[in-house]
Chains A and B, each alone.
Chain A
Amino acid sequence: MEFEISGDELVNKVEELSGQNIFSCYQCGICTGSCPFAAEMDLGPRRMIASLIEGQVEVLQSNTPWICASCFQCVVRCPNDIDIAAVSEALRQMTQRRGFDHIDLSHIPAEERERIPQIAFVGSFRRMTR
């Protein structure tokens, strides 16, 4: 998805939505070290924050916030008490609020819809759709 936003606007909006001071991050990397999904992500939490600090709007195209499962491991480990999960959520919201859902309900196969418990759908749609 393409949309016009400057690096400053992005950081300001992310800080507003997440309530976090991104610039207090000193890039220690404990978050990426703790993240169970870091290996699956293109950036991982540390570099996601670094991209924001550097005003790189391409971070909106990263798969990192979408692979994030909100497990909060990074949150409890961060030495600066940054709620990295909230930052991840803010990045998801940036695209979702412009009308882009990350999953298409019609693509979920019928056999899966027969077995997956509603708790999974509720959580998935909360994080991935608007």
Chain B
Amino acid sequence: MSDEKSIMERIREANKAYTTGLDDEGIEHWVTIYLMGKAYKVPADLTIMQAIEYAGYQFIRGSGCRAGFCGACATVYRKKGDYKLHAALACQTRVEDGMYLVQIPFTPAEKASYNINKEVPDEQVLLKYYPEIARCVSCNTCTKACPQELQVMDYVQAALRGDLQKTAELSFDCIQCGLCALRCPAEICQYHVGQLARRMYGKYGLSEPPSPAQRIQEIEQGRYEDQFNRLMKMGRDELEKLYNEREKE
């Protein structure tokens, strides 16, 4: 029956309705979601963002790359029969029946003014610009809110301790969606703290990799003229093959 269909088939099915607006009869799986309290029947397996658009809304805020990288589509929701408050990215999360959704287009957050060229990368620098990190009560709400599954409380704790490296490393994948800051009872803006730590650590903590400077020198010395000329003469198929088979880190 319908359960035989694989997940990819179901996603394809749902996306067809979403993109074409037709073929609704072909959709077998539906869920009910609530947008600002109003119920909508949408194809199951759509992402929250797609479901909202399927329901007829147009995103003019709170939507960006649609690929889980820009942090624009912060969403807060509850599920039927569950008291917990969940947080997610709308473009990366599939709808579930009974989801009670609200989109957060913006998080108000005060970013400190600093000139990293003039700052000393010592243990006090984060506290200097964000003294409110001392209000952290280790409640872990930020970690629970993070759609990237980062250990947010841990990086705030590292920041409080003045450990720039650890703060930078733990906050590395932060996309600044703001969900942590919205829910924090101590009113800390975690992602700004992480960003300052990464800037300080990147500038003062990490050694400059030799390869870019070296490579630029080599290019300027004309070392790659032959290779460039060869590439310029290649046809499209050859270029595509070269690109797809390139070495990736």
Minimal beta-carbon separation of B139 from chain A (angstroms)? 14
Interface string of B47-70 (1 = CB under 8 A from A): 000000000000000000000000
Contact assessment for A125 and B128 in the assembled complex, using a CB-CB cutoff below 8 Å: no
Contact assessment for B131 and A113 in the assembled complex, using a CB-CB cutoff below 8 Å: yes
Kindly state the interface size class of chain B when it binds its partner: 10 to 19
Kindly state the interface size class of chain A when it binds its partner: 10 to 19
Contact assessment for A113 and B132 in the assembled complex, using a CB-CB cutoff below 8 Å: no
Interface string of B95-130 (1 = CB under 8 A from A): 000000000000000000000000000001001100
Q: How far is the CA of A108 from the CA of B135 in the complex (A)?
A: 15
Residues of B within 8 A of A122 (CB): 134-135, 160
Q: How far is the CA of A43 from the CA of B132 in the complex (A)?
A: 31
Residues of B within 8 A of A110 (CB): 128
Residues of B within 8 A of A118 (CB): 127, 134, 160-162
Contact assessment for A121 and B124 in the assembled complex, using a CB-CB cutoff below 8 Å: no
Residue of A113, A114, A125 near B135 (CB, 8 A) is A125
Contact assessment for A121 and B131 in the assembled complex, using a CB-CB cutoff below 8 Å: yes
The majority secondary structure among interface residues of chain A is: helix
Residues of B within 8 A of A124 (CB): 134
Interface string of B134-173 (1 = CB under 8 A from A): 1100000000000000000000000011100000000000
| Chain A residue at smallest Cβ distance from B129 | A113
The majority secondary structure among interface residues of chain B is: helix
Contact assessment for B134 and A113 in the assembled complex, using a CB-CB cutoff below 8 Å: no
Q: Which of A94-125 contact B (CB under 8 A)?
A: 105, 108, 110, 113-115, 118, 121-122, 124-125
Residue of B128, B160, B161, B162 near A113 (CB, 8 A) is B128
Is A129 interfacial (CB-CB < 8 Å)? yes
Q: How far is the CA of A9 from the CA of B11 in the complex (A)?
A: 60
Contact assessment for B127 and A121 in the assembled complex, using a CB-CB cutoff below 8 Å: yes
Minimal beta-carbon separation of B109 from chain A (angstroms)? 15
Contact assessment for B127 and A125 in the assembled complex, using a CB-CB cutoff below 8 Å: no
Minimal beta-carbon separation of A117 from chain B (angstroms)? 8
Minimal beta-carbon separation of B188 from chain A (angstroms)? 11
Minimal beta-carbon separation of A33 from chain B (angstroms)? 33
Contact assessment for B128 and A121 in the assembled complex, using a CB-CB cutoff below 8 Å: no
Residues of A within 8 A of B134 (CB): 118, 121-122, 124-125
A residues contacting B by CB (< 8 A) are: 105, 108, 110, 113-115, 118, 121-122, 124-126, 129
Interchain Cβ contacts under 8 Å between A and B, 28 examples: A105-B131, A105-B132, A108-B131, A110-B128, A113-B124, A113-B127, A113-B128, A113-B131, A114-B124, A114-B128, A115-B124, A118-B127, A118-B134, A118-B160, A118-B161, A118-B162, A121-B127, A121-B131, A121-B134, A122-B134, A122-B135, A122-B160, A124-B134, A125-B132, A125-B134, A125-B135, A126-B135, A129-B135
